[in-house]
Chains A and B, each alone.
Chain A
Amino acid sequence: MKRKTFNMLRSLLLIYLLTLPFTSLVVYGQDAKLQLGKLNDLESKASEVVDVTLDGKTLQMASKFLSKKRSADEAKVKDLINGLKGIYVKSYEFDKDGQYSLADVETLRTQLKSPGWQRLVGVHSKKDGETAEVYIMTSGDNVLGLAIIASEPKELTIVNIVGPIDIDKLSDLEGNFGIPSLGFEKEKNQERNK
C-alpha cells in the first residue's frame, strides 16, 4: 500500500517537473497585461475618467466590423488588431494638483521592472511636471506588449497593449480604441522629410 502511494507521488512529481517549464512560459506570456485594478481608487477623486477594457474576444468582435474595402485606414487597423490580446486604457483628469500620488504610479512601474519589460523612452519635464514613459515587452525580436505611462500634475494616462505589435504600425492605432495621440505619425513624417 505504501509502495503504491509512493509510486503515485513519484509519478505526480515527475509530471509536475516535466510540465514546469511550459507553465512558466505561459505565465511569462501573460505578463504583458498589467494589473491596473489598483488605479480604480483614483476614480472617486478624478473629475474625468476614461476606462477602456478590450480583451482579445472583444477586439476580434470589433475587428469583424472593420472593412478592408471601406477604407485603407480601417484595413490597417484591422491588420494591426488581429493578433492582439487586449487593449486597456485608463485616463484620469483631476481638478487639483496632487490628487494622485507617485505611489499610485509606482505600483505600475514595479510591474514594469519584471523580466521581459524594457523602457524604450522616458521623458521628464521638471518645468511642467510632466513624465512620459514607453515600455515594451520583448521575446527575441518579437514585441509581446506595450505600456505607456503619461503623467501630468492633473492628469494620468495608462495605455497597455497586449499581444504582438508592429511598432512601425502603432501609429495606426492612435485615436482609436481610446488610445490617445502618441505622436508616432508625426515622428514618421519628420524622418521622411529628413
Chain B
Amino acid sequence: MRKTNKCLLNITLVCLILLASLVPALAKDKEFDEIVKFIEKTYHAKKTGIPMLGIANFALKFAHPAGVKNIKVAVFEDQNFTSVNSGTNFELTIQKIVSQNWQPLIRVFSRKDKEWTYVYVKEENKDTKLLVVTLDQHDATVVELKANMDTLASWVQNPDSFDKMLNDFGFSNRNKHKNKDDSFADSFADSFGEFFHIADKEANSNDNKSLASTSTNASANSSSTSNTSSELPILKTSKNKH
C-alpha cells in the first residue's frame, strides 16, 4: 500500500513538472494559434492530421536534435480558399497578428494567382523563431519553428554528426548512404532551402524577367531577358512569370 502511494506521488510529481514545463510554452506566442484559428473560421477549413507530430514535439522539450526546440505545423489540404475577398482578409489579418512582434523576412503574394507566402523571424534569447504562412487556392500551411540557429547551421554543415547520433539510437540504415550528398542531413539542408523557396518550382524552368537592360553596353532602346537557374536553394525567390 505504501509502495502504491509512493508510486502515485512520483507520478503526480512528474505530471506537475511536465505541466509546469508546458505552461510557459502555452503562454507565449499566440500568433501560430491565431493564424490557424483564422484559417479554420474564415474558410471553414479542416486541418490535415500529421501523425506523431505531438510525440515529436513532446520529445523536443527534453532533447533538441540539430538545435530544434519546438516545431508547430498546421496543414490544410484540398480546401476551398477562393472565397470573395479572402485574399484581402488574409493579408490584413496576418499583418495584424504578426507584424508587431515579428520581423518580416519575405513576403510574396500574387492576387492574380491567389497565392500568399509570408516568412517572419524573431529572436528569442539565443534562439530564433521562424514563422512561415502560405496560402493558395486549395492548400494552406502554417509552420512555426524554434531553433538555435548556430547548432542547426553547424549540423547542416556537418551532416555526419546527426547520422552518427541516429546510428547510436539504432537507426543504422542511415549509414547506408555511401554518397555524402545523399545523407539525411543533406536532404534536410535541401528541405530547409526549399522551406525558403518561395516561388514555384517551375520558376527555374520558366523565363525570369531580367534587368539585363541595365547593361552598360546596352543601347538606349534595348531590353532583354535571360534565363536564371541557380542551384542555391537558400532564400531563392525568383519571380515566376505566367
Contact = CB atoms under 8 A, between A and B. Distances in A.
Nearest to A132: B214
Given A64-B153, A77-B232, A49 B108 contact: yes
A181 B111 CA distance: 23
B233 to A, nearest CB: 9
Interface residues of A, number: 56
Interface in A68-103: 69-71, 73-74, 77, 89, 91, 93, 95
Given A52-B237, A61-B128, A182-B210, A174 B112 contact: no
A176 B220 contact: no
Interface stretch (B3-11, B14-22, B50-58, B223-231): B223-231
Interface in B185-212: 186, 189, 192-193, 198, 208-212
Contact of A178 (B104, B121, B211, B237): B237
Interface residues of B, number: 55
Please classify the interface of chain A as helix (H, G, I), strand (E, B), loop, or mixed, using the class held by over half of its residues.
mixed
A117 to B, nearest CB: 16
Interface in B125-177: 128, 149-150, 152-154, 156-157
B238 interface: yes
Contact of B156 (A67, A127, A148, A180): A67
Contacts of B63: none
Contact of B232 (A74, A183, A190): A74
A64 B155 CA distance: 10
A67 B157 contact: yes
B199 to A, nearest CB: 9
Interface stretch (A8-16, A17-25, A104-112, A118-126): A118-126
